[in-house]
Amino acid sequence: MKLVFFCLVFLTSVTVSFGQTLWGMGFNRVGQLGDGTKTDQITPVQVAIGVSAMAAGDLSSFYLKNDGSLWAMGWNNYGQLGDGTTTERNTPVQVASGVSAVASGVSHTLYLKTDGSLWAMGYNYGSQLGDGTTTSRSTPIKVATGVSAMAAGGSHSLYLKSDGSLWAMGLNNYGQLGDGSKIDRSTPIQVASGVSAVAASGSHSLYLKSDGSLWAVGFNNYGQLGDGSKIDRSTPIQVASGVSAMAAGGSHSLYLKSDGSLWAMGFNNFGQLGDGSKIDRSTPIQVASGVSATTAGGYYSFFVKTDGSLWAMGGNTFGQLGDGTKTERSTPVQVASGVLAVSAGSNHSFYLKKSYPRLSNLSVRTALDANQIVIVGFTMSGGSKNVLLRAVGPTLSTFSVPDVMADPKLDLYSGSTKVTTNDNWGGSSALAAAFQAVGSFAYSSTTSLDAALVASIDGSRTAHVSGPTGGVVLVEAYDAGSGTAQKFTSLAARNKVGTGANILIAGFTLSGEGSRNLLIRAVGPTLGAFGVAGTLSDPKLQVYSGSTIVAENDNWSSLLAPTFSSVGAFGLTTGSKDAALTVALRQGNYTVQVSGADGGVGEAIVEIYELP
């Protein structure tokens, strides 16, 4: 069922230069948030990672990934998703590649490819696709070349060519095309020159010239053009100078000046102007300072401050402000931090946060004596999630590892309580499927004496591995659940560190975009303060990517003490020869080797922590 809203909203894509996490909130009855449900979300839900741009329209949404692929979700009755169908999508579907920007209108969509070509799809009753027809398109059609930016309104479209010329097409009943007439245009017509940016709403348009002047045209019943009147304009009128960005909402407008001040005008019945009132404004009023970006939705607005904080105001019937309520806001309320860009549709919205890789699997390889126990601790933060645990002994021999443990046993503990256990995996088809799902190697046979189990974990747990005979064993923990809020945040393993092949080795994988700061420690001497005998007197720590050392430390620095506190790690004894370092790593596989700097042996712990 289509739900019709009074405000018809443009939103062009907002692009950033590196991969981000995409978060969505608000109205979701046709799956426009792309989270696999049709449930409204009053608090932001993570939708995708590795995203570089996004656009929220009326009831459909789009985002671009780092590889230039365009993904779509939501309402599709006119083919506005561009996937060749009219089928609603509550999970994203890829519709194009080589894309650099996207704009979503009420029921039509525009996107720009890296070669400067402009493509259009969806509803075309007003000829807003610019292809010379009124035929709706469920597959994209090429409409122009040499394009640098575009905007999709209610039933009209605008695009900017690389030479600064502005072109318009579609419905023109309020003069929103800005060509001095109210004649609809089925093919693009040039309406201005020297233009650097463009925005469009249901029936009004804004553009910014290269000299910083802001121009407005079209429907003006609520004063959204900001010219002090409520008179519609078919020829553009200058409304401000010194402007660096602008946004066109349902019947209101926002613009950002080069000094970081945010100004608003137009319809304000829901407080969407953010001036503390619900009074319409036909002349601009300043509502914030220190602003770096802004956008306007149906009856609501957002802005991002230079510190990355995201602020929202206006209508919130479906939770589209993302503050966890459905309360209208006539003064701005902070709803998120670390935000780089924001996009608003009729009643749903998205924002981009910087993407960090995450620990997706953890492992420890060591050699044990008969009945000796290696204890591997890890923390799952953010809620419950399935984790695949493995104790690999016999299968290691297929990788030419000598002296493997013949029959490892795996016990999972929460504190001092044993939660579950496995001795032999028994060829379980469910476990075999779990191995394949996380990308781990298969066991050598269905009768091997390796151990494995899957458990739901929330918080800190320890895996205890031992065997009736000694040998080399590999202990692994894999993130095997769905959802991105829950994640591994630390790993710790304690055992006796030997020499040669019997040093302590921990492995981990970082998955995702960007880089992650980690704290890594090799603790020996300080363990004596906890009553541990026979500690490794001088541990050495080396971090490898493949065969390359990317970081190493012998003796830690006291400058790291505050970092220990930030992740809840115990302090190290002043002047001790424990090892510790912080390092920024990108996605990939890494190993940490702990050995005696002086060739010594003894008890030690290796620890890996994600830093905030």
pLDDT at 366: 87
In a domain, residue 32? The reply is yes
In a domain, residue 5? The reply is no
**CATH code of the domain containing 431:** 2.60.120.380
pLDDT at 15 over 70: no
**CATH code of the domain containing 584:** 2.60.120
When mean pLDDT is compared over 243-257, 427-441, 588-602, the highest value belongs to: 243-257
- Least trusted range by pLDDT, from 11-15, 365-369, 433-437: 11-15
CA gap 372, 465 in Å, rounded: 8
Tell me: do 479 and 513 sit in the same domain: no
Residue 559: how many other CB atoms lie within 10 Å: 8
Q: Which amino acid is at 164?
A: G
In a domain, residue 1? The reply is no
Tell me: do 40 and 159 sit in the same domain: yes
pLDDT at 97: 95
Pair 516, 357: CB distance under 8 Å? yes
Tell me: do 257 and 349 sit in the same domain: yes
In a domain, residue 4? The reply is no
| Residue 462 tokens, joined | 């320890």
Pair 263, 285: CB distance under 8 Å? yes
pLDDT at 10 over 60: no
What is the average per-residue pLDDT within 427-433?
Answer: 94
CA gap 128, 176 in Å, rounded: 12
pLDDT at 14: 42
pLDDT at 307 over 60: yes
Closest CA to 176 of 150, 158, 196: 158
Residue range 117-128, pLDDT digits in tens? 999 999 999 999
Residue range 480-490, pLDDT digits in tens? 887 667 888 88
- Return the percentage of the chain with pLDDT > 70, whole number: 96
Tell me: do 191 and 291 sit in the same domain: yes
Q: Which amino acid is at 467?
A: G
pLDDT at 417: 95
CA gap 211, 331 in Å, rounded: 31
Q: Assign 3 a pLDDT band (cuts: 50, 70, 90).
A: very low
What is the average per-residue pLDDT within 582-591?
Answer: 91
- Least trusted range by pLDDT, from 35-44, 276-285, 319-328, 486-495: 486-495
Residue range 84-116, pLDDT digits in tens? 999 999 999 999 999 999 999 999 999 999 999
pLDDT at 483: 67
Residue at a domain's end among 336, 354, 372: 354
Tell me: do 98 and 216 sit in the same domain: yes
In a domain, residue 2? The reply is no
Tell me: do 548 and 438 sit in the same domain: no
Strands (E), 77-194: 89-96, 99-104, 108-113, 118-122, 137-144, 147-152, 156-161, 166-170, 185-192
Selected residue with higher pLDDT from 46 and 448: 448
Q: Which domain holds residue 41?
A: 11-354
* DSSP run (H or E) holding 226: none
pLDDT at 357 over 80: no
Residue 55: how many other CB atoms lie within 10 Å: 30
Across the chain, mean pLDDT equals 92
pLDDT at 333: 98
Tell me: do 169 and 198 sit in the same domain: yes
Tell me: do 281 and 430 sit in the same domain: no
In a domain, residue 6? The reply is no
555, with CB counted inside 10 A (0-12, 13-18, 19+), is middle
pLDDT at 4: 29
In a domain, residue 3? The reply is no
Tell me: do 457 and 536 sit in the same domain: no
What is the average per-residue pLDDT within 217-233?
Answer: 97
Tell me: do 463 and 559 sit in the same domain: no
Tell me: do 68 and 21 sit in the same domain: yes
pLDDT at 482: 72
pLDDT at 484: 66
Percentage helix, strand, coil for the chain under 3-state DSSP, each rounded to 5: 5, 55, 40
In a domain, residue 563? The reply is yes
CA gap 147, 161 in Å, rounded: 4
Question: Number of folded domains in the chain?
Answer: 3
What is the average per-residue pLDDT within 125-153?
Answer: 97
pLDDT at 513: 67
Residue 590: how many other CB atoms lie within 10 Å: 20
CA gap 33, 49 in Å, rounded: 14
pLDDT at 18 over 60: no
- Least trusted range by pLDDT, from 334-343, 415-424, 512-521, 598-607: 512-521
Tell me: do 486 and 504 sit in the same domain: no
Residue at a domain's end among 471, 496, 521: 496
Residue at a domain's end among 337, 354, 371: 354
| Residue 347 tokens, joined | 């009643």
pLDDT at 17 over 60: no
pLDDT at 11: 37
Residue range 56-90, pLDDT digits in tens? 999 999 999 988 999 999 999 999 999 999 999 99
| Residue 608 tokens, joined | 């890996």
pLDDT at 238: 98
**CATH code of the domain containing 265:** 2.130.10.30
